[in-house]
Amino acid sequence: MEISAELQRQQRSLWRHRMRQVQAFCIDLLLLTLMLLMVEFLVVAFSGRRGPTGLLVTPEEILDLLHYGWAVSGAAFLALLWGLGSNVLGTSPGRALVLGVPEREGHPPWTRTLRGWFIALMVELTVFTGWLITEVQLVTFLTQFSKATDIVRGLLHPSSSVLHQGLVLLVQTIFLAFMATAFAIPVAFCLSFLAARNLTRDTFLLRSAYTLVRAGMNFTRAVEPLVWALIFISWVGIGPFAGVLALWVHSVAALVKLYSEQIENIDHGPVDAITATGASHLQVLRYGVVPQVIPPFLSFTIYRWDINVRMSTIIGFVGGGGIGYILKPRVDLGQWGEVGTLVLLIAATVWCMDILSAKIRERIV
């Protein structure tokens, strides 16, 4: 019985090692594929080739031309080669990341390892490729400022005609952000305990809840608040409540992440001590966990309110209420004086919130 347990343990650790090797290979494969593609991209871009329109090929057209299949196969070959020949070539980046660099390689400077050169090359390739893909035009940037002077002049001479309406909507913006944050607190608080690894190890049910909550929150956070706003606008109609809901959903997801990370970092001493008194799970949470996480939770929550105020201006652009709602048409019509007023109002608010939240958070922790 002892022996079989030992055997099982060995098999498990062997399995884990295999999985890590696969991970390392995948990372190498990805990096090498990217390298080959970027090299091809640059070669085509500088070859002076003409596209279907007869003009020089545009970056988008080059992306269509690239040989993706060949790049992956080539990269797979190279990654295998690097993995097998690691005695001569040194540890590959993927293996260094996942499995670590073996002791026998010591700590040579990066210029003495293939890995170092490879990474340096990747950085340079990325910068060059990025330059072309994003169509950076330094000369235009430096010489054509005059085209934007109208806007700048307008911003510097704010018009007072929109001041009253702006102030009213500013109040709405702040409350909108506040309500989104306030609604998010209880939901995020409860979910964060299920999203903390250290509290969800014991039973299958808890482990499943952890996976579920984590996955759900990662997804929710990945969807931009602007998209949430569009969803809720069609759900509850244009207006500040749609904005509240959009920011609420996003805040819950963001707060769960921050809260649960705090829970994972607690000192387990008090948890042990309270458990040892015969307390129930809820009591252990209340006495062993909650007192430790309250100050950081408060601090994150205020920070979140601060972020929500900023975000609610953008939410207003698409009809989610708040000051952004009257900003958008004035931008479209080029009424730069009024835009200037509104931008100044927003800037002043964000600035105040920033200082206030920093001060409060300083006090709490």
Q: Which residues form the interface with other proteins (CB under 8 A)?
A: 5, 9, 269-270, 272-280, 282-283, 286-288, 291-292, 294-295
CB of residue 265 to other proteins, shortest distance in Å = 15
Q: Would you tell me how many other CB atoms lie within 10 Å of the CB of residue 217?
A: 22
In the complex with other proteins, the residue whose CB is nearer, 12 or 112, is: 12
Query: Of the two residues 244 and 293, which places its CB atom closer to other proteins in the complex?
Result: 293
The set of residues, in sequence order, having a beta carbon less than 8 Å from that of 284 and lying 6+ positions away, is: 271, 274, 275
Q: 122 or 279: whose CB is closer to other proteins?
A: 279
Structure tokens at 143: 């010489």
The distance of closest approach from Cβ of residue 215 to other proteins in the complex, given in angstroms and rounded to an integer, is 25
What is the total residue count of the chain?
365
Distance in Å, CB of 158 to other proteins, minimum = 47
Query: In angstroms, rounded to a whole number, what is the distance separating the alpha carbons of residues 241 and 321?
Result: 7
Task: State the minimum distance, in angstroms, from the CB of residue 365 to other proteins.
Answer: 12
Q: Using the minimum distance from each CB to other proteins, give the nearer residue, 129 or 292.
A: 292
Q: How far is the CB of 88 from other proteins (least distance, A)?
A: 33
| Region of 334 on the Ramachandran plot (φ > 0 left; ψ -120 to 50 alpha; else beta) | left
DSSP line for 298-342: HHHHHHHHHHHHHHHHHHHHTTSSSTHHHHHHHHHHT-HHHHHHH
Helix (H) or strand (E) holding 252: helix 240-264
Nearer to other proteins, 49 or 363 (CB): 363
251 within 8 A of 181, measured Cβ to Cβ: yes
- Sign of the Cα torsion 47, 52, 57, 61 reads negative
Cα–Cα nearest to 82, from 117, 39, 134: 117
Nearest to 239 by CA among 310, 152, 179: 179
Q: From the CB of 278, what's the least distance to other proteins, in Å?
A: 3
Residue closer to other proteins (CB basis): 142 or 282? 282
Q: How far is the CB of 285 from other proteins (least distance, A)?
A: 9
Q: Least distance from C-beta 250 to other proteins, angstroms?
A: 30
> Is 13 or 137 the residue whose CB approaches other proteins more closely?
13
When the beta carbons of 97 and 290 are compared against other proteins, the nearer one is: 290
Nearest-angstrom CA–CA distance, 318 and 329: 11
Tell me how far apart the alpha carbons of residues 316 and 320 are, in angstroms, rounded to a whole number: 4
